[in-house]
Amino acid sequence: MRYNTLGNTDIKVSSLCLGTMTFGGQNSQAEAFDQLNYATEQGINFIDTAEMYAVPTSPKTYGDTERIIGHWLKQSGKRQDIVLATKVTGPSRIKHIRHGKARLDKNNIQEAIEGSLKRLQTDYIDLYQLHWPDRNTNFFGSLSYQHKKDAIETPIEETLYALAELVESGKVRAIGLSNETAWGAMKFLQIAEQLNLPRMVSIQNPYNLLNRSFELGLAEVVHREQLALLAYSPLAFGTLSGKYLHNAKPENARCTLFREYKRYFTPASIQAIEKYDVLAKKYNINLTQMALAFVNQQSFLTSTIIGATTIDQLQENISSLDITLENQLINELELIHQEHTYPSP
């Protein structure tokens, strides 16, 4: 396992981070414990979750992922060995989250952190992230930005002051962004500097062979501003494992169970996956591990967030660290990318 510094902090995180949104949904507590034990045995010290997990979010499973992790932390006694990250829900009408009035204002953030601390059975969070922006912008695959002059938005200053209180109280060590744009990342950094408030240290955004939009703007931001990229969805909802090719619907797979996850099933995406699959076979490499290795090798990456529903999948994901893609293979990847530049947003 390799370890990297989280932004401009002194926190060291493993280059693979265990994503947990299936815990309490597709995965039972026992299965989650198996994953947590195996991941930490392999050197992973970084665990990512969110108050709204399990996914898909529902009143029945809201907060269950954090609860399971909390039980594991208590049982294992490994809290001091873990860099624990969670997220506060952005603006939402999801009724079971603060009565459908979730925002990134002071009251919501204070209520959210107390709930997370209780469920996780800890008195501090290492990295507290804003799950998505509190303004009208593009995230979760949305395109064609349309400015809404009169949109109701929580001022970034208010959000930062609320987070500063958590840092000053010791409840949070560092703060980060998620599903954020280049403008948003720079604005948070600018305002924090102007007001002498804690600066964002990370950004958790999607990055994979089907969605390399991070390379436009944000890659430069993370390099120049010491902002750590935590890349999520490196396998594009599992489509880059190849398991959904030829209209396959694997039993108990996420996109079989939850048909609403269509983001990476565009005709262009399917064509691209087919070509990446052929390329992987040409080089006698597993498609899953090729896709993960591509993400792992990016110079602007701090940690790749991997998720699994079985131990076999988790083992396969972690072993991607042993693979280095040779230059000729990367050149051929780029040719496919040029032909299918952004098949999925």
Q: What is the pLDDT of residue 260?
A: 84
If you write DSSP's letter for every residue of 219-256 in order, what string do you get? Answer: HHHHHHHT-EEEEE-TTTTTGGGTTTGGG---TT-HHH
Tell me the mean pLDDT in the region 229-244: 97
At 257, the pLDDT band (50, 70, 90 cuts) reads confident
CATH class of 3-339: alpha beta
Q: How far apart are CA 119 and CA 52, in angstroms?
A: 12
Q: How far apart are CA 317 and CA 196, in angstroms?
A: 40
Beta strands in the chain (DSSP E): 3-5, 12-14, 16-19, 46-48, 83-88, 125-130, 172-178, 200-206, 228-232, 301-306
pTM for this one? 0.97
The tokens of 313 are what?
A: 């999948």
Tell me the mean pLDDT in the region 74-86: 98
Active-site residue 128, yes or no?
Answer: no
Q: What is the pLDDT of residue 251?
A: 87
Q: Is a pLDDT exceeding 90 seen at residue 279?
A: yes
What CA–CA distances, in Å, run from 166 to 46, 161, 171, 172, 197? 21, 9, 5, 6, 11
Q: Is a pLDDT exceeding 90 seen at residue 195?
A: yes
- Burial tier of 244 (Cβ tally within 10 Å: 0-12, 13-18, 19+): buried
Q: Find the distance separating the first CA and the last CA of the chain, reported in whole Å.
A: 31
The distance between the two most distant Cα atoms of the chain, rounded to a whole number of Å, is 55
Radius of gyration, CA atoms only, the chain = 19
At 146, the pLDDT band (50, 70, 90 cuts) reads confident
Q: Is a pLDDT exceeding 90 seen at residue 144?
A: no
88 pairs with which residues across the strands?
130
Tell me the mean pLDDT in the region 111-125: 98
Q: Are 204 and 198 in contact (CB under 8 A)?
A: no
Element (H, E) at 128: strand 125-130
What is the per-residue pLDDT across 3-17, written as a single tens digit (0 to 9) for each?
999 999 999 999 999
Instruction: Quote the mean pLDDT of the chain.
Output: 96
Residues ≥6 apart with Cβ < 8 Å to 343 = 210, 266, 268, 269, 271, 272
At 254, the pLDDT band (50, 70, 90 cuts) reads confident
Give residue 7's region: left, alpha or beta (phi > 0; psi -120 to 50).
left
Select which of 3, 53, 62, 232 is catalytic: 53
